[in-house]
Chains A and B, each alone.
Chain A
Amino acid sequence: MVAVPAVQVQLFATLREVTGTSRLALEASSVREVLSLLASQYGEELRRRLFTPAGQLQETVAVLVNGRNIRFLQGPDTPLRAGDTVTLIPPVAGG
């Protein structure tokens, strides 16, 4: 049996307020698994912020794996390895 990788999840801005945490550890082998674990753990409010009603990742939410946006990796199917950091960023901006 293959062990599920232990990964770190970082949350910023409003996603911290919804979850009450800035960082947590999870076991997941893909980004998709991280997102669904989070949605089940933190309920409807977080699910609504992460996913469209059709279940797609919100365009305005950025997900990074070790600092790279998953759009330039394999999207939600991006595989994870032990020790990876997954960062979830809600729509923010500045300048």
Chain B
Amino acid sequence: MTGWTGKMLRVDLTAGETSVEELCRHDLRDFVGARGLGSRLLYVAGAYAVDPLAPENPLIFATGPLTGTYAPSGGRYNVLCRSPLTGAIAASNSGGYWGPELKFAGFDLIYVTGKAASPVYLWVNDGRAEIRPADGIWGKTVSETEDAVRAQTHPEAKVACIGPAGERLVRIACVVNDKSRAAGRSGVGAVMGSKNLKAIAVRGTRPVRVADKEGFKAARKRAMEKILSHPVTSGGLPTYGTAVLVNVINAHGAFPTRNFQTGVFAEAERISGETLAKEYLVRKKACFACSMACGRPTLIPSGPFKGSGEGPEYEAAWALGADCGVSDLAAVTAANWQCNEMGIDPISYGATLACAMELYQRGYLTREQAGREMRWGDGQLLVEGVRLTALREGIGNLLAEGSYRLASEFGHPELSMTAKKQEYPAYEPRAVQGIGLNYATSNRGGCHVRGYTISSEVLGIPEKLDPLVPDNKAFWVKAFQDATALVDSSGVCLFVTFAIGAPEIADLLAAATGEAYTTESGLLAGERIWNLERMFNLKAGFTRADDTLAPRLLSEPMPEGPARGQVSRLEVMLPEYYRLRGWDEEGRPTEETLARLGLKW
């Protein structure tokens, strides 16, 4: 095959066996790859009915047909399973170099089931696979693990692994590859830990073949011309990285602060991308085949948080900063490094700590229960808390469960800022109406990168929408969600979509795979994938009642700033969204919709 390798590595950790299987071309074409193909396999396996931390939960590492092809920013892969945080489908996307290497090793995906009797790692080397003991590696941090695994395999091996958080089944643990790129959300690291699987090292030497070399070259050239001439992908992102949004979102009054109690953080400037660039930025860093290089290696030369690492990105700067009321950029940066090392999602960690701080503020969580004070703005607590959470020590054992379980433990689940038990990212739904609808309907719970309407509602790409009005947002949310499902499944980075869209992605897919992808069929595949994920969640027991937001966002008017007086108008947008999706009033795809998409229950 071209684009795809057509091969899947199946790993049964209980039996200690590996085997190679052919993938069904029909599935590849209809579900594209990565997120879409992985979702298809999870659905077929009935993963919606398994305990997420049981050996039966499949853990899938899946690339797309453009991964490793030199398509623009074609370095992505997804980690999929049933999420231990949400109970919904999990598909976490990561960049770096691991995904392309898996393709070079001859596989589109790795499908892991079972549980090893003792800790192991997997070594995939040019078409062969071996399960090896990880006795001396279990317990190590992410960078220590990567170095140790590479020393035992090959100097050029790429490594994806869990840190101490995944080992202890922390529900907000991630899988980290290339030391600082993470499949961050939905607790996929805990599922890896539940299987006693510490790492997967891959090495490959076979280039990814494409069906139409000249056509691919031409499609790539057309896409690159747009990426290299668009002011965002050629200027804004490379120059400042994602954290440049701190000041921008704060200026719109949409920067959630102190657990979404307001949308304005008075000290935003201190944790902004501009300040990061001035104080701690070392250089820019790119993933495989990427011209944007939004990665941000950082160094703190002196003081209590002296050290080096990568980030924070915008989301981490917000969660570890404004959401916890922390304006000390050194503490935010050091906490982000700790999240990378311990293997914790900084969005959910920061948001869970923020929830604990509000519980403490309101007297629902006492100093005795927490074992310490939990005050807003405490940078020391922010940094130490990462380790406590990863090791499940003290208050960390509660933080490790995520904010919904934490807030419920103390009788106030309404203070958990989550959708489907997953923490919201860095945009306030009262100030940006469409993003609230996206959070409420996202198939993996609170998430911005399932339907990034901020692009239109704040940044004006591809067209400017008024963030404060709910009108027509259902249409845009659906459009963003479907297009994103296509992009995530193809294997390129979502950030290319600031400059290119479905037509360019479809051209690249067609030239790489030889299948007749068009703009229309590509977007239809995105819609098919979205509906399949929805079907998974419905079978997992989710209902219309789960397509909602925290009560605060629906009923407490924003207290200040440009969105003062606003609440989320979800009740207006959601019925329209269901109608546009071809779902009934309970949010279930109708038979006509399923038939149109070629899906069956």
A69 cross-chain contacts in B, Cβ below 8 A: 464, 466
Q: If the complex has contacts A22-B274, A92-B244, are A10 and B251 also in contact, measured as CB distance less than 8 A?
A: yes
Query: Chain B nearest CB: distance from A6 CB in Å?
Result: 19
Q: Which residue of A lies closest to B467 (CB)?
A: A69
Q: Which residue of B lies closest to A72 (CB)?
A: B466
Q: How far is the CA of A37 from the CA of B563 in the complex (A)?
A: 29
Let me know if B562 and A67 touch, CB within 8 A.
yes
Q: If the complex has contacts A64-B251, A71-B464, are A94 and B494 also in contact, measured as CB distance less than 8 A?
A: no
- Give the A interface residue count (CB, 8 A): 24
Q: Does A48 contact B (CB under 8 A)?
A: no
Partner of A87, one of B231, B232, B251, B495: B251
Let me know if A91 and B235 touch, CB within 8 A.
yes
User: How would you classify the secondary structure of chain A's contact residues: helix, strand, loop or mixed?
Assistant: loop
Q: How far is the CA of A22 from the CA of B459 in the complex (A)?
A: 20
Q: If the complex has contacts A13-B274, A14-B239, are A95 and B452 also in contact, measured as CB distance less than 8 A?
A: yes
Q: Does B241 contact A (CB under 8 A)?
A: yes
B49 cross-chain contacts in A, Cβ below 8 A: none
Q: How far is the CA of A66 from the CA of B253 in the complex (A)?
A: 9
Q: How far is the CA of A90 from the CA of B498 in the complex (A)?
A: 14
Contact with A along B232-275 (1 / 0, CB 8 A): 10011101111111011001110000000000000001000110
Partner of A92, one of B236, B269, B315, B561: B236
Let me know if A95 and B314 touch, CB within 8 A.
yes
Query: Chain A nearest CB: distance from B226 CB in Å?
Result: 14
A90 cross-chain contacts in B, Cβ below 8 A: 231, 235-236
Q: Does A42 contact B (CB under 8 A)?
A: no
A87 cross-chain contacts in B, Cβ below 8 A: 251
Q: Which residue of A lies closest to B245 (CB)?
A: A94
Let me know if A93 and B235 touch, CB within 8 A.
no
Q: Does A16 contact B (CB under 8 A)?
A: yes
Contact residues of A with B, CB < 8 Å?
A: 10, 12-14, 16, 22, 59-60, 62, 64, 66-69, 71-72, 87, 89-95
Given contacts A66-B562, A92-B459, A94-B244, 15 further A-B contacts (CB under 8 A): A10-B251, A12-B247, A14-B236, A67-B251, A67-B252, A72-B466, A87-B251, A89-B251, A90-B231, A90-B235, A92-B232, A92-B236, A92-B244, A94-B273, A95-B449
Top 10 A-B pairs ranked by shortest CB distance?
A: A67-B562, A94-B242, A92-B236, A91-B231, A94-B245, A94-B314, A93-B232, A92-B244, A87-B251, A72-B466
